[in-house]
Amino acid sequence: MVEIQVKSARSGRWDKANWPLGDKSQQPSAHEREYFVMVASPQDVSLRPRCFVLPRAHVAAAAWIAHMDWLTTEGIPAGKRNAPVSSSRVSLPVFAAYEDRWDLLHVDESECPVLLPAIYRDYAQSARVGLPPGHSWWSSLPEW
């Protein structure tokens, strides 16, 4: 059995589609079969939606990393960026490699390849960005 949570986003341009991923989306996985399907729906209803299939741990890491990188980017004047991590948003390009990866639903989370952008691995290891509290990758960061 697989637990699937679906999140949708609508945008006029694919590169502008993004999903709000708050505190609940960043929680540690309760089991190995928790997945998200992120759906990007175009404004033009004649086009088909795009679907991205990810394990919960990958979504949680992406949401935290995207937000903490945005929040702590050097050179931004103090007070300009102060939204809490519960206001995290992740854009379609971050999830691009997971598009139509329905095959991943047959794999336990710990066996699923990490398809996030390579720079996210560097961010996950940095003191500036890191990973969300309690994330399974704290004990051993996977390759990607």
List, for residues 5-22, the tens digit of each pLDDT value.
Answer: 999 999 888 888 999 999
Reported residue count of the chain is 144
pLDDT at residue 53 is higher than 80 = yes
Q: pLDDT tens, 77-89?
A: 777 888 889 999 9
Residue 27 CB coordination number (10 Å): 15
CA angle 54, 68, 12 (to 5 degrees): 60
Q: Where are the alpha helices (DSSP H) in 11-130?
A: 56-71, 92-95, 118-125
C-alpha distance across the termini of the chain, in Å = 26
